[in-house]
Protein backbone atom coordinates (compact mmCIF):
# COMPACT_ATOMS: atom_id res chain seq x y z
CA UNK A 1 0.00 0.00 0.00
CA UNK A 2 1.81 3.11 -1.16
CA UNK A 3 0.17 5.45 1.34
CA UNK A 4 1.28 3.48 4.38
CA UNK A 5 4.72 2.73 3.03
CA UNK A 6 7.76 2.94 5.23
CA UNK A 7 10.23 5.68 4.25
CA UNK A 8 11.34 4.90 0.71
CA UNK A 9 15.09 4.38 0.43
CA UNK A 10 15.47 7.18 -2.07
CA UNK A 11 17.81 10.16 -2.33
CA UNK A 12 16.29 13.21 -0.60
CA UNK A 13 14.03 10.86 1.41
CA UNK A 14 15.56 12.15 4.64
CA UNK A 15 15.08 15.81 3.75
CA UNK A 16 12.31 17.54 5.70
CA UNK A 17 9.15 17.31 3.55
CA UNK A 18 8.36 20.93 4.35
CA UNK A 19 11.55 21.96 2.51
CA UNK A 20 10.63 19.82 -0.48
CA UNK A 21 7.21 21.43 -0.68
CA UNK A 22 8.70 24.91 -0.26
CA UNK A 23 11.24 24.25 -3.03
CA UNK A 24 8.51 23.88 -5.64
CA UNK A 25 6.86 27.21 -4.80
CA UNK A 26 9.19 29.78 -6.54
CA UNK A 27 9.14 27.99 -9.89
CA UNK A 28 5.38 27.46 -9.77
CA UNK A 29 4.85 31.17 -9.08
CA UNK A 30 7.23 32.23 -11.85
CA UNK A 31 5.59 29.94 -14.40
CA UNK A 32 2.11 31.09 -13.42
CA UNK A 33 3.14 34.65 -14.19
CA UNK A 34 4.23 34.00 -17.76
CA UNK A 35 3.00 31.93 -20.66
CA UNK A 36 6.00 31.24 -22.84
CA UNK A 37 7.76 28.12 -24.05
CA UNK A 38 11.29 29.26 -23.12
CA UNK A 39 10.87 29.58 -19.32
CA UNK A 40 9.03 26.25 -19.06
CA UNK A 41 11.42 24.48 -21.44
CA UNK A 42 14.47 25.69 -19.53
CA UNK A 43 12.81 24.68 -16.25
CA UNK A 44 12.17 21.13 -17.47
CA UNK A 45 15.78 20.89 -18.65
CA UNK A 46 17.05 22.08 -15.24
CA UNK A 47 14.74 19.64 -13.43
CA UNK A 48 15.93 16.66 -15.48
CA UNK A 49 19.57 17.62 -14.88
CA UNK A 50 19.07 18.22 -11.13
CA UNK A 51 17.02 15.09 -10.42
CA UNK A 52 19.47 12.96 -12.40
CA UNK A 53 22.37 14.52 -10.53
CA UNK A 54 20.91 13.67 -7.09
CA UNK A 55 20.07 10.13 -8.18
CA UNK A 56 16.33 10.43 -8.79
CA UNK A 57 16.68 9.81 -12.54
CA UNK A 58 15.12 6.38 -12.40
CA UNK A 59 12.11 7.66 -10.46
CA UNK A 60 11.79 10.55 -12.94
CA UNK A 61 11.38 8.15 -15.87
CA UNK A 62 9.38 5.51 -13.99
CA UNK A 63 5.71 4.66 -14.48
CA UNK A 64 4.88 6.63 -11.36
CA UNK A 65 5.34 9.95 -13.17
CA UNK A 66 3.23 8.71 -16.10
CA UNK A 67 0.15 10.73 -15.08
CA UNK A 68 2.15 13.91 -15.70
CA UNK A 69 3.21 12.83 -19.19
CA UNK A 70 -0.40 11.93 -20.01
CA UNK A 71 -2.13 14.95 -18.47
CA UNK A 72 0.23 17.57 -19.92
CA UNK A 73 -0.32 16.81 -23.65
CA UNK A 74 -4.09 16.60 -23.01
CA UNK A 75 -4.10 20.11 -21.56
CA UNK A 76 -1.93 21.24 -24.45
CA UNK A 77 -4.27 19.75 -27.07
CA UNK A 78 -7.31 21.44 -25.61
CA UNK A 79 -5.50 24.77 -25.85
CA UNK A 80 -4.55 24.01 -29.46
CA UNK A 81 -8.19 23.28 -30.34
CA UNK A 82 -9.98 25.93 -28.34
CA UNK A 83 -7.34 28.56 -27.48
CA UNK A 84 -7.66 32.18 -28.62
CA UNK A 85 -7.06 32.14 -32.42
CA UNK A 86 -4.30 34.25 -33.94
CA UNK A 87 -1.97 34.06 -36.95
CA UNK A 88 -2.24 31.55 -39.77
CA UNK A 89 -5.33 29.29 -39.64
CA UNK A 90 -4.60 25.55 -40.03
CA UNK A 91 -8.05 24.07 -39.29
CA UNK A 92 -11.40 25.78 -38.91
CA UNK A 93 -14.34 23.56 -38.04
CA UNK A 94 -17.10 25.15 -35.97
CA UNK A 95 -15.86 25.71 -32.42
CA UNK A 96 -12.45 24.34 -33.28
CA UNK A 97 -9.87 26.76 -34.59
CA UNK A 98 -6.32 25.54 -34.91
CA UNK A 99 -4.16 28.55 -35.60
CA UNK A 100 -0.49 29.43 -35.41
CA UNK A 101 -1.20 31.25 -32.15
CA UNK A 102 -3.21 28.44 -30.52
CA UNK A 103 -0.54 25.86 -31.37
CA UNK A 104 2.07 28.06 -29.69
CA UNK A 105 -0.14 28.49 -26.62
CA UNK A 106 -0.79 24.72 -26.58
CA UNK A 107 2.89 23.90 -26.60
CA UNK A 108 3.64 26.50 -23.93
CA UNK A 109 0.81 25.19 -21.74
CA UNK A 110 1.98 21.62 -22.06
CA UNK A 111 5.54 22.55 -21.15
CA UNK A 112 4.30 24.60 -18.21
CA UNK A 113 2.20 21.74 -16.81
CA UNK A 114 5.18 19.39 -17.05
CA UNK A 115 7.55 21.93 -15.50
CA UNK A 116 5.30 22.48 -12.48
CA UNK A 117 3.90 18.97 -11.96
CA UNK A 118 7.02 16.91 -12.56
CA UNK A 119 9.09 18.17 -9.60
CA UNK A 120 6.02 18.11 -7.36
CA UNK A 121 5.29 14.45 -8.19
CA UNK A 122 8.91 13.29 -7.99
CA UNK A 123 9.53 15.06 -4.68
CA UNK A 124 6.23 13.86 -3.25
CA UNK A 125 7.15 10.26 -4.03
CA UNK A 126 10.19 10.63 -1.76
CA UNK A 127 8.04 11.78 1.17
CA UNK A 128 7.09 9.39 3.95
CA UNK A 129 3.77 10.28 5.62
CA UNK A 130 5.27 10.10 9.12
CA UNK A 131 8.05 12.52 8.13
CA UNK A 132 5.45 14.81 6.60
CA UNK A 133 3.47 14.83 9.85
CA UNK A 134 6.65 15.55 11.85
CA UNK A 135 7.52 18.39 9.47
CA UNK A 136 4.06 19.94 9.51
CA UNK A 137 3.81 19.78 13.30
CA UNK A 138 7.36 20.72 14.28
CA UNK A 139 8.63 22.92 11.45
CA UNK A 140 5.38 24.63 10.48
CA UNK A 141 3.93 24.31 14.02
CA UNK A 142 0.52 23.13 12.85
CA UNK A 143 -1.62 21.73 15.71
CA UNK A 144 -0.59 18.17 16.69
CA UNK A 145 -4.18 16.94 16.95
CA UNK A 146 -4.89 17.99 13.39
CA UNK A 147 -1.65 16.60 11.94
CA UNK A 148 -1.73 13.24 13.75
CA UNK A 149 -5.45 12.84 13.07
CA UNK A 150 -4.68 13.28 9.38
CA UNK A 151 -1.85 10.77 9.58
CA UNK A 152 -4.10 8.18 11.23
CA UNK A 153 -6.78 8.79 8.59
CA UNK A 154 -4.20 8.19 5.87
CA UNK A 155 -3.31 4.84 7.44
CA UNK A 156 -6.98 3.84 7.57
CA UNK A 157 -7.35 4.74 3.88
CA UNK A 158 -5.10 1.76 3.16
CA UNK A 159 -7.39 -0.67 4.99
CA UNK A 160 -10.39 0.80 3.18
CA UNK A 161 -9.06 -0.61 -0.09
CA UNK A 162 -9.15 -4.12 1.41
CA UNK A 163 -12.57 -3.42 2.93
CA UNK A 164 -13.92 -2.41 -0.46
CA UNK A 165 -12.82 -5.72 -2.00
CA UNK A 166 -14.30 -7.75 0.84
CA UNK A 167 -17.58 -5.82 0.82
CA UNK A 168 -18.05 -6.42 -2.89
CA UNK A 169 -17.58 -10.18 -2.34
CA UNK A 170 -19.87 -10.11 0.68
CA UNK A 171 -22.63 -8.39 -1.29
CA UNK A 172 -22.33 -10.94 -4.06
CA UNK A 173 -22.81 -13.63 -1.42
CA UNK A 174 -25.91 -11.83 -0.12
CA UNK A 175 -27.55 -11.95 -3.55
CA UNK A 176 -27.67 -8.19 -4.15
CA UNK A 177 -24.77 -7.82 -6.61
CA UNK A 178 -26.81 -8.23 -9.81
CA UNK A 179 -28.11 -4.67 -9.67
CA UNK A 180 -27.00 -1.97 -12.10
CA UNK A 181 -23.45 -0.82 -11.35
CA UNK A 182 -24.46 2.66 -10.20
CA UNK A 183 -26.91 1.44 -7.58
CA UNK A 184 -24.54 -1.30 -6.50
CA UNK A 185 -21.65 1.14 -6.25
CA UNK A 186 -23.64 3.62 -4.17
CA UNK A 187 -24.80 0.94 -1.73
CA UNK A 188 -21.29 -0.38 -1.44
CA UNK A 189 -19.83 3.08 -0.90
CA UNK A 190 -22.27 3.65 1.94
CA UNK A 191 -21.32 0.31 3.53
CA UNK A 192 -17.67 1.26 3.26
CA UNK A 193 -18.36 4.59 4.91
CA UNK A 194 -20.11 2.90 7.85
CA UNK A 195 -17.17 0.55 8.32
CA UNK A 196 -14.63 3.36 8.01
CA UNK A 197 -16.39 5.39 10.69
CA UNK A 198 -16.43 2.38 13.01
CA UNK A 199 -12.75 1.67 12.45
CA UNK A 200 -11.90 5.31 12.96
CA UNK A 201 -13.75 5.46 16.27
CA UNK A 202 -11.93 2.36 17.56
CA UNK A 203 -8.61 3.87 16.54
CA UNK A 204 -9.57 7.14 18.20
CA UNK A 205 -10.28 5.25 21.44
CA UNK A 206 -6.92 3.46 21.22
CA UNK A 207 -5.16 6.79 20.61
CA UNK A 208 -7.00 8.46 23.45
CA UNK A 209 -6.14 5.57 25.79
CA UNK A 210 -2.51 6.28 25.02
CA UNK A 211 -2.82 9.87 26.13
CA UNK A 212 -3.56 11.50 22.77
CA UNK A 213 -5.24 14.83 23.35
CA UNK A 214 -4.23 14.91 27.01
CA UNK A 215 -3.53 18.35 28.44
CA UNK A 216 0.13 19.32 28.60
CA UNK A 217 2.89 19.72 26.05
CA UNK A 218 3.44 16.90 23.60
CA UNK A 219 6.99 15.87 22.78
CA UNK A 220 8.18 14.32 19.51
CA UNK A 221 10.28 11.16 19.35
CA UNK A 222 11.66 12.14 15.96
CA UNK A 223 13.17 15.57 15.51
CA UNK A 224 12.17 17.31 12.30
CA UNK A 225 15.54 18.80 11.39
CA UNK A 226 15.88 21.85 9.20
CA UNK A 227 19.51 22.31 8.23
CA UNK A 228 21.85 22.56 5.28
CA UNK A 229 20.18 19.82 3.22
CA UNK A 230 16.79 21.53 3.59
CA UNK A 231 18.11 24.99 2.67
CA UNK A 232 20.02 23.35 -0.19
CA UNK A 233 16.84 21.87 -1.62
CA UNK A 234 15.03 25.21 -1.32
CA UNK A 235 18.00 26.99 -2.95
CA UNK A 236 17.83 24.46 -5.78
CA UNK A 237 14.17 25.33 -6.32
CA UNK A 238 14.92 29.07 -6.32
CA UNK A 239 17.83 28.56 -8.69
CA UNK A 240 15.70 26.73 -11.26
CA UNK A 241 13.07 29.48 -11.06
CA UNK A 242 15.74 32.19 -11.50
CA UNK A 243 17.40 30.48 -14.45
CA UNK A 244 14.08 29.98 -16.28
CA UNK A 245 12.98 33.57 -15.78
CA UNK A 246 16.37 34.93 -16.82
CA UNK A 247 16.42 32.76 -19.94
CA UNK A 248 12.90 33.85 -20.91
CA UNK A 249 13.67 37.53 -20.41
CA UNK A 250 16.96 37.21 -22.34
CA UNK A 251 15.21 35.41 -25.20
CA UNK A 252 12.54 38.14 -25.22
CA UNK A 253 9.69 35.64 -24.76
CA UNK A 254 8.80 36.66 -21.18
CA UNK A 255 5.20 37.83 -21.23
CA UNK A 256 3.14 38.38 -18.12
CA UNK A 257 -0.21 36.68 -18.54
CA UNK A 258 -2.17 39.82 -17.80
CA UNK A 259 -0.25 42.15 -20.14
* First-to-final CA distance of the chain: 47
Cβ atoms < 10 Å from Cβ of 112: 25
Q: Does 87 bind other proteins (CB under 8 A)?
A: no
- Nearest-angstrom CA–CA distance, 24 and 51: 13
The residues in 144-163 that bind other proteins, with binding defined as CB under 8 A, are 148, 151-152, 155, 158-159, 163
The residues in 189-248 that bind other proteins, with binding defined as CB under 8 A, are 191, 194-195, 198-199, 202-203, 205-214, 216-223
Q: Kindly tell me the burial class for residue 127, based on how many C-beta atoms sit within 10 Å of its own C-beta (0-12, 13-18, 19 or more).
A: buried
Q: Kindly tell me the burial class for residue 159, based on how many C-beta atoms sit within 10 Å of its own C-beta (0-12, 13-18, 19 or more).
A: middle
- Nearest-angstrom CA–CA distance, 118 and 70: 12
Size of the site for other proteins (CB under 8 A): 54
Q: Does 172 bind other proteins (CB under 8 A)?
A: yes
CB of 160 to other proteins, least distance (A): 12
- Nearest-angstrom CA–CA distance, 156 and 150: 10
- Nearest-angstrom CA–CA distance, 31 and 23: 14
Q: Does 183 bind other proteins (CB under 8 A)?
A: no
Q: Does 86 bind other proteins (CB under 8 A)?
A: no
Q: Does 171 bind other proteins (CB under 8 A)?
A: yes
Q: What does the per-residue mask of binding to other proteins show for 29-68, with x meaning CB under 8 A?
A: ----------------------------------------
The residues in 118-147 that bind other proteins, with binding defined as CB under 8 A, are 128-130
Q: Provide the binding-site residues for other proteins, judged by CB under 8 A.
A: 1, 4-7, 128-130, 148, 151-152, 155, 158-159, 163, 165-167, 169-178, 187, 191, 194-195, 198-199, 202-203, 205-214, 216-223
Amino acid sequence: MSIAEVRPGLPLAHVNPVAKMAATVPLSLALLLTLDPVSAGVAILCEVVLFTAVGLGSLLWSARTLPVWIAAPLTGISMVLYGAPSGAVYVDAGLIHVTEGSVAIGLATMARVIAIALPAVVLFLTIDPTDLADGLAQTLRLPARFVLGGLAALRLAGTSIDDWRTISLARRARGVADRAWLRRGLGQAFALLVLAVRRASTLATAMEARGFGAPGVRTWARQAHFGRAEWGVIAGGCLVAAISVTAAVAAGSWNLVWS
